[in-house]
Amino acid sequence: MQAPVGDITLEYDTFGSPDDPTILLVMGLSTQMIAWQPGFCQMFVDRGFHVVRFDNRDIGLSTKHHGVASGIVGLPSALKLRLSGKAPYHLSDLANDAVGLLDHLGVAKAHAVGVSMGGMIVQQMAISHADRLLSMTSIMSTTGSPFVGHAKLEAIRMMFRPESTERQAAVEATVEVRRITSPHHFNPVEARKWAELSFDRSHYPEGGGRQLAAIFASGNRTRALHSVRVPTLVIHGGADPLVNISGGRATARAVPGATFKSYATMGHDLPEPLWPELVNDIVAHAKRATASAET
């Protein structure tokens, strides 16, 4: 399904009844909404929630800003855009997109859950659109401070690597990314299935450079996060090679009253063995937030 949001269109789908409280799932950098796997989404439905997932702009089946960046993707392209001052959009625009989708769906308030760049987006939603959030959960993300959340050298090298437009090479590269980012839960068979599904649905590496430029151009949110009063849960993996756990800890410190939860074996991933615990933590947080708002 597609939703017109301002001058762009967002691809989205839903699970469960719209009469139930909504959980808005916001995905990360260069990653399509299908990374929120149906089984994971169904676990929230089984707990009494309406789930919405969507493709951010410049990924999947949502609007793409063709031609704004060069064909070089990833970190080099993002740095080029950042240094030129020509980042085509910022995290605040991506947060506005998410709110626009809620408007389209007629959802007044939602529980926003974001991973990686999606965590940054839901943080920005809590800063700029607090009235639209019942709660916020930021997973494997960071504040934008240059002093926390650093990637390991292997992950940095991965970000500098040009992406192929040829299917087999692109699939192999995605599997390798999964190997690096999921050090304890890597499953080569499942990783390959995911890589093939993603490529066949929409392979658009150019958008990743623009999304990364948006992250760089948006700067440090730490001071703004001090003003957030949205009930906040921060989740981070102790084995995350792409965004060090210091990014999650800094996020929790920045938001007054935030709860921090770490998972020792979780990398920069949402591994299926951890789904029950992740869902339990997010649902418990959402229910606490709702109960607090009603008292």
pLDDT of 158 reads 78
- 153 pLDDT above the threshold of 90: no
CA distances 34 to 7, 194, 197, Å, are 24, 9, 9
For the chain, give the DSSP string.
-EEEETTEEEEEEEES-TTSPEEEEE--TT--GGGS-HHHHHHHHTTT-EEEEEPPTTSTTS---TTSS-S--HHHHHHHHHHHT--S--HHHHHHHHHHHHHHHT-S-EEEEEETHHHHHHHHHHHH-GGGEEEEEEES---S-TTS-PPPHHHHHHHHSPPPSSHHHHHHHHHHHHHHH-TTT--HHHHHHHHHHHHHH---THHHHHHHHHHHHH---HHHHTT--S-EEEEEETT-SSS-HHHHHHHHHHSTT-EEEEETT--SS--GGGHHHHHHHHHHHHHHHHHHHH-
In the numeric block, the tokens 């240094």 are attached to 83
Q: Is the pLDDT of residue 81 over 70?
A: no
Q: Is the pLDDT of residue 70 over 50?
A: no
Asked if residue 157 has pLDDT above 90, the reply is no
pLDDT exceeds cutoff 50 at 73: no
Helix axes 167-181, 153-160, angle to 10 degrees: 160
Average pLDDT over residues 176-201: 95
Predicted local confidence at residue 88, as pLDDT: 87
Q: Which pLDDT does position 295 carry in this prediction? A: 72
Is residue 270 pLDDT above 90, yes or no? yes
Q: How confident is the model at residue 206 (pLDDT cuts 50, 70, 90)?
A: confident
Report the CATH number of the 2-294 domain. 3.40.50.1820
Segment 63-67 shows an average pLDDT of 86
Structure confidence at residue 33 (pLDDT): 98
Chain segment 238-248, per-residue pLDDT in tens: 999 999 999 99
Q: Quick one: pLDDT at residue 67?
A: 67
Which pLDDT belongs to residue 280?
A: 98
Confidence (pLDDT) at 126:
98
Share of the chain above pLDDT 90, in %: 82
Question: Mean pLDDT: which of 82-91, 150-159, 183-192 is highest?
Answer: 183-192
- The predicted structure's pLDDT at residue 79: 53
Q: How confident is the model at residue 77 (pLDDT cuts 50, 70, 90)?
A: low
State the chain's mean pLDDT as an integer. Answer: 92
Looking at the chain, the whole-number percentage of residues with pLDDT higher than 70 is 93
Is the CB of residue 255 less than 8 Å from the CB of residue 151? no
121 neighbors 219 (Cβ within 8 angstroms): no
Q: Which amino acid is at 116?
A: S
Tell me the pTM: 0.94
**CA pair distance 123, 129, nearest whole angstrom:** 10
d(CA 239, CA 245): 8
pLDDT top residue among 206 and 47? 47
pLDDT of residue 288: 96
Q: Which residue did the predictor score with more confidence, 199 or 160? A: 199
**Does the pLDDT of residue 32 top 60, yes or no?**
yes
